[in-house]
Structure 1
Amino acid sequence: MGKRIMSTDIINHIEFPVAEAERSRRFYEAVLAPLGLSLVISIDPARTSHGGARHGFGKNGYPTLWFHEESGARRPIHIAFTADDRKTVKAFHAAALRSGGTDNGGPAFRERYHANYYAAYVLDPDGNNIEAVCQTE
């Protein structure tokens, strides 16, 4: 049997639709880099069941965040990524704005959650609310 890659997190992976897979790929390559995530795999539209490209991002060669191109109406989602420190939250936010994201709450403490909740929010090209958060002192 071949080597099996296992995720130890409670969620194995997340996938969501986007209007333009290549535009989103470029956006997420830039935005996720400060968080240590990178493009792991791209699947050609001819090999997908829905006829649109798929891209998977993750760490250590395992894609935990997927999106696929799909036409039609969709509701925005919210995804929060863990950042190791506040500097990384700032780098995430800056990369998102440089890459076509829209500010939805710059890097700051969100004490309504708790005293050490430091986060930044951006809207991706499809209007999804993407967050980076550091919850350490």
Structure 2
Amino acid sequence: MSTDILNHVEFSVAEAASARRFDEAVLAPLGLTLVISIDPARTPHGGARHGFGRSGYPRLWIQQQSGERLPIHLAFTADDRATVDAFHAAALANGGTDNGVPGIRERYQASPIGHDQALCDLA
């Protein structure tokens, strides 16, 4: 039995190109890269899809869709504080908002597309 609970997750964004650029920057410290992009003509909703992951397997997907989107909260795991700091710096440099230096809090920074993205250092 696999130890992974989730194989992949996908969420909608209003504009896939800018969300892709943000995610390319903030996910890089975690070793996650853009694995695949799917043309809008090949998607069920007619919006571009981008998959990020490690070792060539996409585990985090974004897809452009019109209509109302509810914010989501994503929390990634970091191996050390340096990775947390790099993630935080990349988020701010690419349009994320800051609610203080990395640390324990009730809220996290929002990405430019309105989703909360957090990084947990479990070391």
Give the one of 26, 40, 44 matched to 1:31: 26
Q: Structure 1, residues 55-85: CA drift from partner, whole Å, max 9, x if none?
A: 0000111000001001111110000011110
Contact kept? 1:14, 1:66, Cα under 8 Å = yes
The answer to whether the aligner puts 1:127 opposite 2:122 as a matched pair is no
CA distance in 1, matches of 2:57, 2:31: 12
Partner of 1:56: 51
Q: TM-score, normalised by structure 2?
A: 0.93
In 1: Cα distance, 2:105 partner to 2:67 partner: 37
Q: Unpaired segments of 5 or more residues in structure 1?
A: 1-6, 113-119
Alpha-carbon distance change, 122 to 45 in structure 1, aligned in 2, over 3 angstroms: same
Instruction: Give the aligned length.
Output: 122
Change (3 A) 1:69 1:111: closer
Consecutive unaligned residues in structure 2, runs of 5 or more:
none
Partner of residue 90 from structure 1, selected from 82, 85, 90: 85
AA of the residue aligned to 2:74: I
Work out the CA distance in 1 between the residues paired with 2:105 and 2:119.
15
CA distance, structure 2, for counterparts of residue 8 and residue 15 of structure 1: 20
Match of residue 39, structure 2, among 41, 44, 54: 44
The structural deviation recorded for 1:105 is: 4.3
Q: Quick one: percent identity of the two aligned structures?
A: 66
What is the RMSD of the two structures over their aligned residues, measured on CA atoms? 1.8
Corresponding residue of 1:80: 75
TM-score (norm 1): 0.83
Q: Which has the larger radius of gyration?
A: 1
Moved over 6 A (4+): none
- 8 Å Cα contact 1:53/1:69 also seen in 2: yes
In terms of mean alpha carbon deviation, does 120-129 or 39-48 score higher?
A: 120-129
Secondary structure of residue in 1 paired with 2:109: strand
Question: What is the deviation of 1:104?
Answer: 3.5
1:123 deviates by 0.8
Write the distance in 2 (CA, Å) between the matches of 1:104 and 1:38: 26
